[in-house]
Structure 1
Amino acid sequence: MFVIKLFLALILVLVLAVYIVNLNIMSKVNPIKEVTSAPYKDAKFHNTAPRKPMSFADTATLWVRFFTEKKVDTTPNINIPVRAVSRVDLDMLSNDTLHMVKLGHSSILLKVYGEYWLIDPVFSDRASPFQFAGPKRFHQPPISLEDLPPIDKVLISHNHYDHLDKASIKVLLAKTKQFLVPKGVDGDLVDWGVEANKITTFDWWQELQTSQGLVVFTPAQHFSGRGMGDGNATLWGAWVIKTPQESIFFSGDSGYFSGFKETGDKYGPFDLAMIETGAYDKDWADIHMKPEESVQAHIDLQGKVMMPIHNGTFDLAFHTWHDPFDRVVAESERRNVTLSTPEFGRIFSINDLPPLTTWWQTTP
């Protein structure tokens, strides 16, 4: 009898612990009251093409896969090439064009005609609510948060841990003038210490004219959530940045859908399209694209050069770590699409994009 009581007590403690942790990591969101371009019902955002809901059996099967399926070659057996970037390197760049640095995964640093902008900055060691568990970085960022120059704008695509990093935001809030985020994401930022007057929230198709050009938040086919019970309470999407001379697209995370063509028709062509190419799987095919679909999305967007992102930094799926690169290269050659695959930390300008280099095939 004592053993049974002890077991029940341990179960109760575990349940309470999970409940307390979940309360701490759930998004801090107030229900959206105004009419939105993105479908919004019952305090949840929705995709334009409804997703097939996962049944209990589907969810159980997926968890079984995570715990039992053997992963092969999902972490690099090479040292990921990373070029160190210094504040001096950045400040020496000219102010008469758009410069870029791929920092890792989907994190991008821009110098937009003299202003520094960050997209989806994730500098933590793990894409997780905890730094003792969860997907761990394959490489360190090319520059530390502390060494970054003052940031004019931080753009966030959605609130998943590999795109919205609490620890990074808490460092950046002191050196950032403005945060551009999807509707609902402002709640977490304010909770983390960002002043509300520094935050601008965006609906799909919402535009902001800045001193450096036009910024637009466009649709994606994805979802949001940071804990149990806050799924889709905040919006997700992609970013368009159009300066007087250049036009770039950042996909965030998305399954393949008609919205890419609609964005291309409205705001294309794009000098550079940064397209999610990684973390795909048959069990979530509607929210993450296969590399072949990523190339099609680039074509739909009327992109001139495609840069695959969302790869090379974290293990977030079952495919090999290099599969996104191998497949996107093969498909781009088949479809006659120009790829740019810079190493992390390489500084380049929009007018001088790095060519295709297969750095991931470097021998140990």
Structure 2
Amino acid sequence: MAWKNPWYDASKAHHTPEGFCNLEPDPRQPGDLDRWRKERKAQGLPFPPQNGYEAFKANWFQSADLSGDDDRVWWLGHAAMLLRLNQRYLLIDPALSLRASPLPFAGPKRKTPAPLRISQLPRLDYVLISHNHYDHLDLTTVKRIIQRFPEVTFLVPLGLETWFRRRGARHVYPLDWWQSQRENDLTLTAVPARHWSMRTLKDRNRSLWCGWVIRSEAVNFWFSGDSGFSENLAEIPRRLGPFNLAALPTGAYAPKWFMQSSHMDPDHAVSLWRLMGQPLTIPVHWGVFELADESLDEPPVELSRAIARSGEDNGRFAPWKIGEGRSLRNIDQEKS
């Protein structure tokens, strides 16, 4: 019997009877994946960073410092984020294991270490997941979270609640695009992204993908999730902005003919940054896993070039070190 989407709502364009879809057409054609793999293998891509992996790590990595009690945001590498808001801690897409893979001995391996361990967190209130790909939803990290913080609340896209409950999560809230979870001054909203989902050979697009907007007294933060560029994303700042903090993906974009429907390149990210009013923005989705053809150190170089081409280099969209944290106390004035 064919699987049917139990959340299907015919009034929503991103719902289908078989699962979920993007609002934009997919330019990929049958055979494109095999073509990319063959080209990548033939060219020996990706190349190592220009000065080697150890030099890259020395330049772009630091351990996360969780001291203090101010509102603060940390980039933990790739898409993983940590926020401290009014003494509440929130993790986003915490893939902190050695590999982004269902197998412990194969699949994309970390080239830079995780800047913190779950055991270092003094508390954890929320975990937000954007989608089910292994570089964003990591089983080992989730198990460690549930063991140390059994009362933590998971917010997930539609279709992932059962996965979390089967692994012992007690508080799981599945959300569709534009739905919110609220607690006092904190509002957490799932928002659209242009991507896809798949964790096994049989579940493609059976669960949703999303970005997140986190609003508190100190911050209005848009984490775009794993997303290709789309003019439809402008609806997010129109509805929920203005934002004073954002995280936009700037890696896993090469070759563009294959990756553009799922991943932004730096030029697309800069266009979106300008569209939303140029808030302080953290470039994410780079620096840890070699998922595409560009070298590990290429995204920050290409981002700098994209910013220069835009003519609007105000210092508010520039690479952070993995593990770097910044206070949100004066976020609206930082490097403006």
TM-score > 0.5 by shorter chain = yes
| Residue in structure 2 matched with residue 241 of structure 1 by the alignment | 214
Name the CA shift for 1:239/1:33 in 2 (closer, same or farther; >3 Å).
Answer: closer
User: Which ranges of structure 2 fall in alignment gaps of 5 or more residues?
Assistant: none
* Residues 108-164 of structure 1 deviation map (CA, whole Å, 9 limit, x = unaligned): 111011101100001100111112111111221221122222210000011101100
**Larger displacement relative to structure 2 (67-76 or 213-222):** 67-76
Aligned partner of 2:308: which letter?
E
- What is the Cα-based RMSD across aligned positions, in Å? 2.2
**Cα offset, 1:307, TM superposition:** 1.3
Out of 32, 38, 41, which is 2:6 matched to?
32
**Cα offset, 1:211, TM superposition:** 2.2
| Residue in structure 1 matched with residue 107 of structure 2 by the alignment | 134
User: Which ranges of structure 1 fall in alignment gaps of 5 or more residues?
Assistant: 1-28, 357-364
Report the Cα distance in structure 1 between the residues aligned to 2:218 and 2:13, rounded to whole angstroms. 30
Structure 1 counterpart SS, 2:244: strand
| Residue in structure 1 matched with residue 288 of structure 2 by the alignment | 313
Task: Give the 5 Å matches for 1:51-130.
Answer: 51-55=26-30, 57-75=31-49, 76-77=52-53, 78-80=55-57, 81-85=60-64, 89-90=66-67, 92-94=68-70, 98-130=71-103
Contact 2:4 2:19 in 1 (8 A): no
Aligned partner of 2:120: which letter?
D
Task: Give the 5 Å matches for 1:157-306.
Answer: 157-174=130-147, 175=149, 176-195=151-170, 198-280=171-253, 281=255, 282-306=257-281
Report the Cα distance in structure 2 between the residues aligned to 1:303 and 1:214, rounded to whole angstroms. 22
**Does residue 306 of structure 2 align to residue 350 of structure 1?**
no
Contact 2:132 2:198 in 1 (8 A): yes
Report the Cα distance in structure 2 between the residues aligned to 1:355 and 1:72, rounded to whole angstroms. 35
**Larger displacement relative to structure 2 (118-127 or 283-292):** 283-292
Structure 2 counterpart SS, 1:104: coil
Structure 2 counterpart SS, 1:229: coil
Aligned partner of 2:300: which letter?
F
Report the Cα distance in structure 2 between the residues aligned to 1:33 and 1:290, rounded to whole angstroms. 32
**Cα offset, 1:43, TM superposition:** 2.0
Name the CA shift for 1:192/1:66 in 2 (closer, same or farther; >3 Å).
Answer: farther
**Cα offset, 1:192, TM superposition:** 1.9
Name the CA shift for 1:63/1:341 in 2 (closer, same or farther; >3 Å).
Answer: closer
Report the Cα distance in structure 2 between the residues aligned to 1:264 and 1:330, rounded to whole angstroms. 25
* Residues 294-338 of structure 1 deviation map (CA, whole Å, 9 limit, x = unaligned): 111122233422210001111110112122111111212332142
Radius of gyration: which is bigger?
1
Contact 2:187 2:216 in 1 (8 A): yes
Name the CA shift for 1:330/1:343 in 2 (closer, same or farther; >3 Å).
Answer: same
| Residue in structure 2 matched with residue 144 of structure 1 by the alignment | 117
Contact 1:340 1:355 in 2 (8 A): no
| Residue in structure 2 matched with residue 333 of structure 1 by the alignment | 308
Report the Cα distance in structure 2 between the residues aligned to 1:269 and 1:107, rounded to whole angstroms. 23
**Larger displacement relative to structure 2 (312-321 or 142-151):** 142-151
Share of identical aligned residues, percent?
30
Give TM-score, length-normalised by structure 1: 0.82
Give TM-score, length-normalised by structure 2: 0.88
Contact 2:80 2:93 in 1 (8 A): yes
Report how many aligned residue pairs link the two structures. Answer: 319
Name the CA shift for 1:158/1:38 in 2 (closer, same or farther; >3 Å).
Answer: farther
Structure 1 counterpart SS, 2:35: helix
Contact 2:46 2:290 in 1 (8 A): no
Structure 1 counterpart SS, 2:152: strand
* Residues 279-300 of structure 1 deviation map (CA, whole Å, 9 limit, x = unaligned): 0122121111111001111222
Aligned partner of 1:68: which letter?
A
Report the Cα distance in structure 1 between the residues aligned to 2:217 and 2:84, rounded to whole angstroms. 15
Contact 1:260 1:301 in 2 (8 A): no
Report the Cα distance in structure 1 between the residues aligned to 2:139 and 2:277, rounded to whole angstroms. 34
Contact 2:251 2:264 in 1 (8 A): yes
Report the Cα distance in structure 2 between the residues aligned to 1:54 and 1:190, rounded to whole angstroms. 36
Aligned partner of 2:7: which letter?
K
Report the Cα distance in structure 1 between the residues aligned to 2:78 and 2:174, rounded to whole angstroms. 24
Structure 2 counterpart SS, 1:348: strand
**Cα offset, 1:99, TM superposition:** 0.6
